[in-house]
Amino acid sequence: MKVLVTGGAGFIGGNYVQYMVNKYPNYHIVNLDLLTYAGDLTKHKEIENRENYSFVHADIVDREKIFSLFKNEKFDYVVHFAAESHVDRSIKEPDIFVRTNVVGTQVLLDAAKSINVKKFVHVSTDEVYGELDYDPSTFFTEKTPLAPNSPYSASKASSDFFVRAYHETFGLPVNITRCSNNYGPYHFPEKLIPLTISRVLNDQKVPVYGDGKNIRDWLHVYDHCTAIDLVLHKGINGEVYNVGGHNEKTNLAVIQTIIRALNKNENLIEYVEDRLGHDKRYAIDPTKLEELGWQPRYSFETGIEQTIQWYLDNKEWWQNILNGEYRAYFKKQYKL
C-alpha cells in the first residue's frame, strides 16, 4: 500500500508518519509538506533513511504539482493533516486559513478522485461543532450541527463539507475524524501545553486567557494516531468519527498541573486579555469510534507525565524551534 500523509512535518502528522513507518514495514509512507513555520523535519532523523519512507516538499494548493504527483505515485490511501492549525493566528490572518484549509483540501480531493484512491481520511477537529456550555452532561456527537466560531474552525468546517460533498456527489471513499485537543511529543511551542512547559522551565510567565476556566478535552497524540489507523482500515465509507478520551480540564488546571510537576511556583501564572470569540468548552462523545474497536491508552494524568518527561529529555528539539535553528537543518539536509 502506498499512503500519502499530508502535513507529516507537523505535530500530529509527524507522530502519525513515525507510527505508520514503524507499524507497517510493507507500506510506503510519503510525507508531503510545505514546511511552513509549523513544519519541522528534524523530528524524522530516525526514519528519514528508511526504505518505506519518503518526503515531498509541496504546497497542497499547487494543483499542477499535486496532480502530477498523484498521477506518478498512484497512492492507495490519503491521510490529510496539512493545515493552518492555530486559532490565535486565524484571528490575526484569516486569509491563509481559507487558502490552505479550504482550497488545499479541495485540490487534494480532486487529485484523489482522478486516481480513484481507496480511502481519503480527512483529519478534522471538534472545534467545527462550536462550543458547549459548562454543563458536564453535554457532549459533541457526530450528529451535533456544525457551528464554528473562529476563522480556524470555520475553515475546517468548510473543508469537512467539501469532503462530504465529494463522497455524496462523486462517491469518493472518505472518512472525517473530529478529534479533541491533542498534546504529546513534538507539539509546537505556540500551543497551550508545550508553551506552558517550555516557559515554566525557563522561569517565564505563562499567559492565561481570560479567567482560565475554559475547558478543553485533551487526548494524547499517540491515541489519536491509533484512532486514525483504525478509521483508515475499518472506517465505513462516508462516515464521521469523533475522537476523544473524556479528559476535560480547565486551562488553569492544566497549567497548575504542569507547574507542580516541575516544582515551580504558581506566581508564574499571568492573567491576560481573553481571546476574541473564545470557545467555552469542548467535550467529545467517542462512542461511535469505540464501537469500531478503539480505546485510548492514556488518561490525562499518565499522558501529561509522559509529555513533561519528553520535553525534559528533548530540550534541544524545542529550544532549536524557539530560536529558529531547525531551519538551518532543512537547508543543509534538503536544500530548502
* Residue numbers 246-285 binding ligand NAD by CB under 6 A: none
**Nearer Cβ to ligand TYD (207/238):** 207
**Min dist. Cβ of residue 181 to ligand TYD (A):** 5
Under rule CB under 6 A, how many of the chain's residues touch ligand TYD?
Answer: 12
Stretch that binds ligand TYD, among 44-52, 116-124, 208-216, 307-315 (CB under 6 A): 208-216
Q: What does the block give as the cell for 175?
A: 472518512
Which of 224, 283, 178 is CA-nearest to residue 11?
224
User: Which DSSP category does 268 fall into?
Assistant: G
Residue whose CB is less far from ligand TYD, 105 or 214 = 214
Question: In this structure, which amino acid lies at residue 227?
Answer: A
Q: 42-48: long-range contacts at Cβ-Cβ below 8 A with a sequence spacing of 24 or more? A: 42/317, 42/320, 42/326, 42/329, 43/9, 43/14, 43/18, 43/186, 43/317, 44/9, 44/14, 44/17, 44/18, 46/18, 47/17, 47/18, 47/21, 47/22, 48/333
Among 11, 19, 53, 300, which residue sits at the site for ligand NAD (rule: CB under 6 A)? Answer: 11
Site string for ligand NAD, 172-211 (x = CB under 6 A): -------x-xx-----x-----------------------
Residues 106, 108, 114: CA angle, nearest 5 degrees:
105
Stretch that binds ligand TYD, among 41-49, 73-81, 109-117, 207-215 (CB under 6 A): 207-215
Least separation in angstroms between CB 265 and ligand NAD: 28
**119 or 216: whose CB is closer to ligand TYD?**
216
In the chain, DSSP finds a helix count (H) and a strand count (E) of 13, 13
Q: Does 158 bind ligand TYD (CB under 6 A)?
A: no
The one catalytic residue in 33, 40, 59, 127 is 127
* Distance spanning both ends of the chain, measured CA to CA: 28
Q: Which is nearer to ligand TYD, 42 or 181 (CB)?
A: 181
> In the annotation, is 152 catalytic?
yes
Angle at 157 between CA 14 and CA 192, to 5 degrees: 50
Distance CA 281, CA 293 (A): 27
Q: Does 187 bind ligand TYD (CB under 6 A)?
A: no
Any idea which residue has 480547565 for its cell? 250
* Residue 156 is a binding residue for ligand TYD (CB under 6 A): no
194/26 Cα distance (integer angstroms)? 34
Annotated active-site residue 126? The verdict is yes
Q: Residue 40: what residue type?
A: D
Nearer to ligand NAD, 106 or 268 (CB): 106
Per-residue x/- track, 55-94, ligand NAD (CB under 6 A): ----xxx-------------------xxxxx---------
Within 84-205, residue ranges assigned H as helices are 87-92, 94-97, 105-114, 151-170, 192-201
Query: Catalytic: which of 129, 152, 166, 298?
Result: 152
* Contacting positions for ligand NAD (CB under 6 A): 6-7, 9-13, 33-36, 38-39, 59-61, 81-85, 100, 104, 123, 125, 156, 179, 181-182, 188
Residues annotated as catalytic are 126-127, 152
